[in-house]
Amino acid sequence: MELINVLGLDIKILIAQFVNFAIFFFVLYKFAYKPILKFLDDRKDKIENGIINAEKAEQKLLEIEDNEKKIIENAKIEAKNISKDIIDKATIFAEDKKVKMIEKAKQEIKTLIDQEKGSIEIQKAQTIKEIKREIADIVIASLEKIIDKKLNKEELTKTIKEISKE
């Protein structure tokens, strides 16, 4: 104890300071250090969870991008198939329409031909009637001339030839 007295230290004050330091350390530990450590641990946990969530989000984003690419590819394939089907149907429809139009045109042409044939037959019949009438007139005129001349056989033949030429 002499050493403590020589140094000028009072044991009561030293013990009081030690007790004060212990109380101060306890209060500081209880109200400052523990909450700060808890806050830092919570912050560390939040940061770790944020990193984990960010990695999960990045992974999900990659999965979504892959799914998006697959969906786009499938949509393109489906669009090609649909457009091919539409083109095929349009081609078939056009071919059917073409065949129907050709058949209709053939029918119309056949009808026109039949009408023209009928018209030609009527004209032919009229022409034949006119020719018969003219021949009859020629024959009558020829006979009148023959009768008027009262010709013999040679003259008759000669006269018929002349009249035919006329």
pLDDT at 98: 92
**C-alpha span between 45 and 146 (Å, rounded):** 145
Q: Please report the pLDDT score of residue 135 as a whole number.
A: 81
Average pLDDT for 20-27 = 92
Cα gap 114→120, rounded to integer Å: 10
What is the 3-state secondary structure of 21-83? HHHHHHHHHHHHHHHHHHHHHHHHHHHHHHHHHHHHHHHHHHHHHHHHHHHHHHHHHHHHHHH
With a pLDDT cut of 70, the percent of the chain lying above it is 89
Q: What is the pLDDT of residues 24-80, one digit of tens each?
A: 999 988 888 888 889 999 999 999 999 999 999 999 999 999 999 999 999 999 988
Mean pLDDT of 138-151: 68
Residue 30 DSSP one-character state: I
pLDDT of residue 152: 62
Q: Where are the domains of the chain?
A: 2-134
- The pLDDT of residue 150: 58
Q: What's the pLDDT at 43?
A: 94
What is the model's pTM?
0.40
Q: What angle do helix axes 153-165 and 34-149 make, rounded to 10 degrees?
A: 150
Contact 156, 134 (CB under 8 A): no
Q: Which residue type does 133 have?
A: R
